[in-house]
Amino acid sequence: MSRTSGAEHAPSPFRQPKAVWAVAFACVISFMGIGLVDPILPSLSGQLNASHAEVELLFTSYLVVTAIAMLVTGWVSSRIGAKKTLITGLALIVVFAALAGASSGIGGIVGFRAGWGLGNALFIATSLAVIVGSASGGFAGAIVLYETALGVGIATGPLLGGLLGTVSWRGRSSVSRC
């Protein structure tokens, strides 16, 4: 009688439907948006004659709106469906990132960044539910994929922002629309 461990038969978190990988990749891009602006704060402050407090509002407006909007994201998703909520969130991210990149003043960028946060809340809160619901191999593998997307996105956002900052602060807003 041979002894086998349950780990040998555990499904791999890497064997997922294409839809799960697509949502996970979009999560990476979405989470990049959180830290993308960090390296451009000094540049924005100088080019737009903005105070330190004004440029810090880029984080505050984004994160406060994201946090508050997440409180109602489940309700929205239950009314219009997960797929429509994801698409709406991504569309808002794209529109508000483009508007932020085209804005000529710090007030506009802060406001558009808040709108970007609304889209992000709709997307990231719903994406976890979609990944868990669609992933093969159970809950644990789905959570690993989501957490990996979160970590990769947050870690690479400031790096990408710094690289794009060598071109222009507007370049960061443009790339984050992807």
> What are the tens digits of pLDDT across the range 72-86?
999 999 999 999 999
Question: Is the pLDDT at 8 greater than 60, yes or no?
Answer: no
Q: What is the pLDDT of residues 127-173, one digit of tens each?
A: 988 998 888 877 788 888 899 999 999 999 999 988 877 777 655 44
State what percent of residues in the chain have pLDDT above 90.
Answer: 48
Question: Is the pLDDT at 6 greater than 70, yes or no?
Answer: no
Taking the CA atoms of 38, 106, 121 and 168 in sequence, report the sign of the dihedral they define. negative
Question: Is the pLDDT at 5 greater than 60, yes or no?
Answer: no
Question: Is the pLDDT at 176 greater than 50, yes or no?
Answer: no
Q: Give CA–CA dist 53/4, Å, rounded.
A: 59
Give the mean pLDDT of 90-104.
92
What does 42-70 look like in DSSP terms, one character per residue? HHHHHHTT--HHHHHHHHHHHHHHHHHHH
DSSP state of 6: G
For residue 10, what pLDDT is reported? 61
